[in-house]
Amino acid sequence: MPFIRFYFLVVLFVLLDRCKVVNDTGHESEVLIIRGINVIDVINGKIIPDQDVVVKDKRIFFVGHSFSGNIPAASIAIDGKSKYLCPGLWDMHFHLCWDRNNDSLLFPILLKNGITGIRDMGGDLNIMHTFRKRLKEGRQVGPVIFGAGPMIDGNPPVYRDFSLPVDGNTNMKVVLDSLKNSGADFFKTYSLIKEPQLKAISTYCTKNKMRFAGHLSEYIDPEISIALGQKSIEHLNRLDDIWTVDRDRINRIGRLMIDHKSFLCPTLITFQLKTQVRDSSIVKKDYTQYIPASLQEEWEVTWAKRKERHVALADWEDLDKLFISQLELVNHLYTMGVPILAGSDFAGMPYVYPGISLHQELNLLVKAGLSNEEALKTATINPVIYMDEQENYGSITVGKYGDMLVLGSNPLDNISNLDSIGLVIVKGKIIERQQR
């Protein structure tokens, strides 16, 4: 760790140690005061200097110059001078709820990387409810979870695990009622679903104020899926093929996405990894402790098969060219005005590691042409706009939950400065972020 970053962490922890007060009941104070910090306004893309930020009862109570209200004796104070306060990050394509131990395994590393919210894109609703219950009861500290439950796919599905195969014989209302009543926040559709079933999902969502998101189906024109209300398109599958042969059609699709307020979650990290099969540096040894043995074995088998498929130099050159084309596609849609979401696809793609891969994704979005400001939006304010959760998350604003990051450097200058996290704050609770 560079000396400056080490010094930054030490100073913050010393200040916390000196200012932390315990109330008469022996519990930590629910009031947090950050003095004189530079607040990152992700909505307007600017820095608001020298701000006091107060979090009370989990939510932001005050943002402004020189807070002069009553300060409880039992409060925690942070000197924010020369530091930056950023909203917590969201990973909008993550697979968490497939193992009952994933909360204790993954929550710490997600928080250390500043991720305070995730969108779970396929898993077990019972596991999701268990995780949420532990968070609510205070048995775990971790990111807020919005989840779909099992993926809705054609019959047979691409994956048997965590999929609901549907076809012409399926009573779609029964399936969708079951998911909704079991607590699904949205529906995820997958690659082999047919048009009649997608239309049934669209009709159900309109009637029940739900939404659906997912892969573009191999059996349905993207224009139809978007017109039916697909709220987000995951990855670049199908779009990248169209991009190579028909730019005018991509323009029509882009305009349709804008008109229907459909987001793109490109997961560029997954496409970059495909070009790096021969690169041993993709294996992050420090992160293997966060990968279940069964998943690690699956990664190794999948990667070995991928290497076998790409043996000639021309194969690698083609993969590199394809990735460059995919970066250009994201740039084109972004320039048109299509809203972007940052997502990593942990547990959906080998060697996508929890937490750190979201930072890699943000750097790739900048490489694709997004500004630092716009890349930061894809992991902060854009996700909550997508989920209609602007009242609760996404910016340093009075009334929202106190999910924030104390940074040593300004990410609007360089998105890589998100790596300068000194403290993570979850609903006003301070998480000390150790070296990753």
Instruction: State pLDDT tens for residues 347-394.
Output: 999 999 999 999 999 999 999 999 999 999 999 999 999 999 999 999
Q: Kindly list the structural domains of the chain, giving each domain's residue range(s) and its CATH number in brackets, ordered by start.
A: 3-87+394-432 (2.30.40.10), 89-149+235-386 (no CATH)
pTM of the shown model: 0.93
Q: What percentage of residues in the chain have a pLDDT greater than 90?
A: 85
108/359 Cα distance (integer angstroms): 16
Q: What is the pLDDT of residues 126-173, one digit of tens each?
A: 999 999 999 999 999 999 999 999 999 999 999 998 899 999 999 999
Question: Using N-to-C axis directions, what is the helix angle for 313-336 and 247-259, rounded to 10°?
Answer: 40
∠ CA(55), CA(56), CA(62), 5° rounding? 50
Please choose, from the candidates 380, 376, 382, 344, the residue with its C-alpha nearest in 3D space to the C-alpha of residue 361.
344
Phi-psi region of 341 (alpha: psi -120 to 50; beta: other; left: phi over 0): beta
Average pLDDT over residues 283-305: 94
Average pLDDT of every residue of the chain: 92
Q: What is the pLDDT of residues 166-200, one digit of tens each?
A: 999 999 999 999 999 999 999 999 999 999 999 99
CA torsion sign for 17, 356, 6, 33 is negative
3-class DSSP string for 278-347: CCHHHCCHHHHHHCCHHHHHHHHHHHHHHHHHCCCHHHHHHHHHHHHHHHHHHHHHHHHCCCECCCCCEC
Confidence grade of residue 432 (pLDDT, cut at 50, 70, 90): low
- DSSP helix/strand/coil, 188: strand
CB neighbourhood size of 153 (10 A): 26
Length reported for the chain: 436
Q: What is the pLDDT of residues 25-80, one digit of tens each?
A: 334 447 999 999 999 999 999 999 999 999 999 999 999 999 988 878 778 999 99
pLDDT for res 181: 98
